[in-house]
Amino acid sequence: MEVVRKSQPQMPGAPPIEPAARKLTIEKFADGGITCLKLTGTIDEAFEGKKVARSAEGDVLVIDLGGVKKISSFGIREWVDFVGAASQQVRQLLLIECAPKVVDQLNMVANFTGGGRVFSFYAPFRCDYCDSEHRVLLDVAKDFEAIKAMKLAERPCPACKEAMYFDEDGSTYFSYVLGQGQFELEPQVVAFLAAKLDYRIGTLDAKLRIDKAIDGTITYVRLAGDLNNTFPRDKLAEGLEGTVIVDVAAVSRVEPAGAAEWRSFVQQVAPLVDQLYLVGVAPAFLEKLCGKDDLGAKAQVVDVTLPYACPACGTTSAHPVDIAEHHAVLKFATAPELRCPKCQAVMQCSASEAAMTMLPGLPVPQVTRELVRKIGELRTRKLDKRPTSGMAAPSRAELERVRSPVVPVLLVALILVVIAGGVALYLKSTAKPDPGPYGIGPVAATSAGAPPAWLDASLAPSASTCRPAGDKIACLGVSSVLASQEEAEDEASDAALEALAFETAKSVNDPAWNKAVGAVFTPARDAALAAYGRDPLSTQARRALHDGRHAVARSLATGGGPQVSGRYWEAFDSPDGRRFVAFARVEVPVASIKRAATGYAKPASALGATVVSLFPELGWRFTRIEHGAVVTGLEHGPLQELGLAEHYVVIAIDGRDVVDAPSFAAILTEEYAQLEDRGGALRLLVQTETGDPREFQTAIAGRRVEPGTTVRVPRVIHDLPTGGINVWDRYNGGRSTGRDDPSL
């Protein structure tokens, strides 16, 4: 949902009024009883607070204010109306990632939260060494003691690594938060933020929580948090019998070590239980732990939770899908058709391909109506671990022992132990912790005994660079600080491959290519890097950098492009748990880079259109495209009349994939020759400068043929591959894209 300023009336004869720029964007995410509204931009009088509040339904409303740049006076009025109305419709109202501008208003405006509570907010920090300002995210669950003391520790500057300090008056800046007090998020909110928005705040990094309840012959187990190497499979397996139901709806992440522990747990309990049912299976769990070998002989999936998006109202939400009820559809790797709970329009399932391919392999669960009812009851039950209030009175013998002369000796010993423990705790609290190389904690483990020779310790997390290495170019990539080793290694690889693609772009000396291709991806790349540089803690900035690099790396690697030649990772013990930083290296001959640059810039033409092969760096602009041909020039002809324009990317022609510039010319020439003879529609799937790919088509009349006349249709023969390829194949010993061409 987007909120825009209303246009002003135009006087007769006056020049046309340009549409007002969008000042505030609101994204909506929903899952069950939890809704999140993410605000970005300026809150002013155009923000229709009461109208927006009507979309806030359910149990918990989370408002993300990290992207708010400004709040005007009239905007404050609309905001107070909004939170006042919204708080009447939900049980709990939470504000997260409050920007400094929002914190200022919290401290000055009465009822700014409308009865809600602030969980996390940004604090301004300054580095005098490089004269830069940065934001640091704090939350009331883990940082409250530091906030209460008004003494925030210095942090390493993301730009120069020197110490930066809190640049505000603590008594003023923290006044609202201190008055509000400390609290923790509920487990279901933690799971929502991790699964839907990839937030890593507060208790999201806590160890896995396990709740257990016994109901007759049924044992119900609820898991919440990250499934990692701390999963206590032996303790959980002990004593399990009968029917066991494991609720994994609140499992936010599945790490490789945790997946291995889970598989061992399933094998361990198989001989002990009658049946093991999994409920609330989210896509992350489905992809990694619901294969035939993962489930074994006893485990069955009762329902999965799939993400859906409504094209009509823009709402995204997750919905449970019963395996038994929808098995006839799921066996074709297709999600059942559901309607939006808000507007009743047909929603589209947005689950990944990896998750969808797991659905046909799920067996039909053998569950009775009574068991389904019992599962529903247990999932809504609040599990209380508090001890009972009743305690047995001490016996006469126990009272006599209390009066015995041994007691004073024991008391003295106990006092000495307490004193010694207090001294140890004091020494520990006053000792300066090892900040480690990145300020997150000491190194706890590495992937090798010693760092590789190619490692550059001066590179910061999320950095990348390319340097000469003899007759080769070596590109290095560093991941951000992540809780998953696997994700860190993937990020480092993407960073190294993207650096190589950018190095290749710098070797292109064709002005036409730079105008048509370089001018498209360069602004998008620069914007993503600049946003991350300004605020590396911003969820939006981190996601834009990750998605852009991943799209470039995926496009570059399509069809066997350059591969990562070196990997290394380090693990750190941070205050929030184990964290990983990974490094990757790609090494390519300089001559190969120059030949590839020449190949990417080499044009092909057909029907008045001049194109070049899709360049991987365009992934910054078009994150979902892996192949195609970029239009660099258009002369008058059928394609210009069709609506094609420069900078457009042709992805397919009449259903045939365009993998590069030569295939564009070949397929188009062949298809058009046939259409000129027999007639029909010429269809092109095209990525324009904005939005999703769309189809352009035009009717070709064909030449008139008298009845009974035999027509020979010319056919241009090209040995085109069926899979995606790229220019690197032609220069690095890969398969050819067509007939031998000495010019390549």
**DSSP letters of 107-162?**
HHSTTTTTT-EE-EEEEEEEETTTTEEEEEEEETTTSHHHHHHT-PPPEE-TTT-S
Taking only the tens place, the pLDDT of each residue in 290-300 is: 998 899 889 99
How far is 519 from 651, CA to CA, in rounded Å?
20
DSSP-derived secondary structure letter, 239: T
Rg (CA), the chain: 31
How far is 191 from 196, CA to CA, in rounded Å?
8
SS3 465: strand
- CA distances to 159, 348, 672 from 680, in Å: 59, 32, 10
Percent of the chain with pLDDT over 70: 82
Residue holding tokens 């609101």? Answer: 26
Structural contact between residues 203 and 368, judged by C-beta atoms closer than 8 angstroms: no
535-545 average pLDDT score? 82
Taking only the tens place, the pLDDT of each residue in 669-706 is: 999 888 888 888 899 999 988 778 888 888 888 776 55
176-195 average pLDDT score? 84
SS3 94: strand
DSSP-derived secondary structure letter, 166: E
Superfamily of domain 604-731: PDZ domain (2.30.42.10)
- Long-range own/partner contacts, residues 126-130 (CB < 8 A, 24 or more apart): 126/164, 126/165, 126/167, 127/157, 127/159, 127/160, 127/162, 127/163, 127/164, 128/164, 129/157, 129/160, 129/162, 129/163, 130/157, 130/159, 130/160, 130/162
572-583 average pLDDT score? 88
Beta bridge partners of 569: 582
SS3 691: coil
Structural contact between residues 191 and 224, judged by C-beta atoms closer than 8 angstroms: yes
Q: Where are the domains of the chain?
A: 20-187, 207-380, 443-594, 604-731
Q: Which residue has the higher pLDDT, 393 or 485?
A: 485
Q: Which residue has the higher pLDDT, 56 or 684?
A: 684
Phi, psi of 380, rounded to the nearest 5 degrees: -95, -5
At residue 361, the pLDDT reads 92
| pLDDT exceeds 60 at position 385 | no
The answer to whether domain 207-380 and domain 604-731 are alike in fold is no
CATH number given to 20-187: 3.30.750.24
239-262 average pLDDT score? 86
| pLDDT exceeds 90 at position 405 | no
Strands 464-469 and 209-215: unpaired
Taking only the tens place, the pLDDT of each residue in 321-337 is: 999 999 989 988 899 98
How far is 49 from 30, CA to CA, in rounded Å?
19
Q: Which residues contact 284 (CB under 8 A, 6 or more apart)?
A: 195, 251, 252, 253, 254
Most confident of 13-22, 320-329, 530-539, 704-713: 320-329
701-718 average pLDDT score? 53
Of 623, 479, 631, whose CA–CA distance to 542 is shortest?
A: 479
| pLDDT exceeds 80 at position 709 | no
Which of the four pLDDT bands, split at 50, 70 and 90, describes residue 662?
Answer: very high
91-114 average pLDDT score? 91
Of 364, 365, 335, 332, whose CA–CA distance to 352 is shortest?
A: 335
Which of the four pLDDT bands, split at 50, 70 and 90, describes residue 473?
Answer: very high
At residue 246, the pLDDT reads 94
At residue 536, the pLDDT reads 84
Q: Which amino acid is at 369?
A: R
How far is 226 from 609, CA to CA, in rounded Å?
52
Name the token pair of 510. 């064709």
Q: What is the mean pLDDT of the chain?
A: 81
Structural contact between residues 294 and 273, judged by C-beta atoms closer than 8 angstroms: no
At residue 625, the pLDDT reads 85
Which of the four pLDDT bands, split at 50, 70 and 90, describes residue 731?
Answer: very low
Name the token pair of 684. 């092109």
Which of the four pLDDT bands, split at 50, 70 and 90, describes residue 57?
Answer: confident
How far is 241 from 269, CA to CA, in rounded Å?
8
Helices and strands (H, E) in the chain, number of each type: 24, 30
Taking only the tens place, the pLDDT of each residue in 115-161 is: 899 999 999 999 999 989 999 999 898 888 889 888 788 888 888 88
Q: Which amino acid is at 510?
A: D
At residue 281, the pLDDT reads 92
Q: Which residues contact 285 (CB under 8 A, 6 or more apart)?
A: 227, 248, 251, 254, 278
- CA distances to 184, 205, 301, 445, 482 from 578, in Å: 21, 9, 31, 10, 9
Q: Which residues contact 324 (CB under 8 A, 6 or more apart)?
A: 302, 364, 365, 367
601-627 average pLDDT score? 90
Percent of the chain with pLDDT over 90: 31
Beta bridge partners of 339: 346
Q: Which amino acid is at 497?
A: L
SS3 275: strand
Of 50, 30, 52, whose CA–CA distance to 39 is shortest?
A: 52
Name the token pair of 646. 């420069």
Superfamily of domain 207-380: STAS domain (3.30.750.24)
